[in-house]
């Protein structure tokens, strides 16, 4: 068994992962890798709940606002870059922390990406044309019909994810979900998964409060500046995509806020559906003290000092 350990902290949005990751980083005097794909982009700060400056200063962080929304960056790119960063960090650290709510990005690092069939360009082109002509809702309906298992966990507000799943089905005749979990790539470090959970009413209250704080901190102004770039993939994100129609007069601010909160809650539900399928996660209540969680993980997994 490797002496190098990656402690990955997962859970739904607004459950308290950032604070716990800092507690672990301080306990082991180590670095934090973010696998939150929404926090990669320097133009998106408030709406993605980027850690506060004092939080970023509490431990060295990687993959926080390291890209522009104009950059092309895939989960495969992240797997490559994160593994390279980990190799460097493990040269001087026995433990590294990873945290974030992007389940696919976390899985890419811990287990490797699944292998999917090649999809002809014309299939993608056809789906993009259907998206432009008929809208995303129609594609989502089709995905739910042909692959309800994947639709339960997919980010259905993200056109790229929906088109990817449909393209695999149209090209191969097999569902996207049927290709998931076939392959696990062995890593040269041990993975310890720590999950935070909260009762649904509590979590939903925390999400609603977080949205209110984002608005107080200037989310409207941040999103308004990004309106010219609304069609870029990074901006197909909860917190921004609901505000763009408001700016364009499609509905009022109250409706935009309602949609942000609703879609954030739906996102959290999908996150938990995904994470609950992973038997490797060690779950803790959101209100367990950080000291207690660090102690329990050390007792269970760490070598005697």
> Distance between CA 52 and CA 149 in Å, rounded?
36
Residue (of 17, 9, 13) closest to 48 by Cα position: 13
> Distance between CA 42 and CA 222 in Å, rounded?
12
Are 238 and 263 in contact by the 8 Å Cβ rule? The answer is yes
Q: What sign does the CA torsion over 167, 171, 173, 177 have? A: negative
- 17 labelled binding-site residue: yes
- 58 labelled binding-site residue: no
- 87 labelled binding-site residue: no
- 277 labelled binding-site residue: no
Three-class HEC string of 37-71:
HHHHECCCCCCCCCCCHHHHHHCCEECCCCECCCC
- 57 labelled binding-site residue: no
- 76 labelled binding-site residue: no
Query: Which segments are annotated as binding site?
Result: 11-18
Query: Which segments are annotated as binding site for substrate?
Result: 13-18
Query: Which segments are annotated as binding site for ATP?
Result: 11-18
């Amino acid at each position: 068994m490797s002496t190098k350990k990656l402690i990955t902290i997962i859970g739904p949005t607004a459950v308290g992962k950032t604070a716990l990751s800092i507690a672990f980083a301080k306990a082991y005097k180590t670095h934090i890798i973010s696998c939150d794909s929404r926090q990669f982009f320097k133009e998106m700060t408030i709406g993605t709940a980027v850690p506060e400056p004092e939080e970023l200063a509490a431990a060295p962080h990687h993959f926080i606002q390291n890209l522009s929304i104009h950059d092309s960056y895939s989960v495969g790119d992240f797997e490559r870059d994160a593994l390279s960063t980990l190799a460097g960090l493990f040269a001087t650290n026995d433990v590294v922390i990873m945290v974030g709510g992007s389940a696919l990005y976390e899985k890419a690092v811990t287990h490797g990406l699944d292998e999917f069939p090649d999809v002809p360009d014309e299939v993608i082109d056809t789906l993009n044309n259907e998206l432009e002509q008929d809208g995303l809702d129609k594609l989502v309906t089709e995905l739910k019909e042909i692959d309800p298992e994947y639709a339960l966990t997919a980010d259905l507000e993200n056109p790229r994810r929906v088109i990817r799943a449909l393209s695999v089905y149209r090209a191969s005749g097999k569902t996207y979900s049927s290709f998931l979990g076939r392959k696990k790539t062995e890593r040269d470090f041990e993975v310890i998964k720590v999950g935070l959970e909260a009762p649904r009413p509590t979590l939903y209250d925390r999400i609603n409060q977080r949205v209110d704080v984002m608005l107080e901190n200037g989310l409207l102004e941040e999103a308004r500046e990004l309106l010219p770039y609304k069609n870029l993939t990074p901006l197909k994100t909860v917190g921004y995509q609901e505000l763009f129609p408001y700016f364009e007069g499609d509905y009022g601010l109250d409706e935009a806020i309602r949609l942000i909160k609703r879609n954030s809650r739906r996102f959290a539900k999908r996150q938990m559906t995904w994470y609950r399928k992973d038997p490797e996660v060690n779950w803790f209540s959101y209100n367990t003290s950080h000291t207690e969680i660090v102690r329990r993980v050390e007792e269970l997994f760490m070598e005697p000092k």
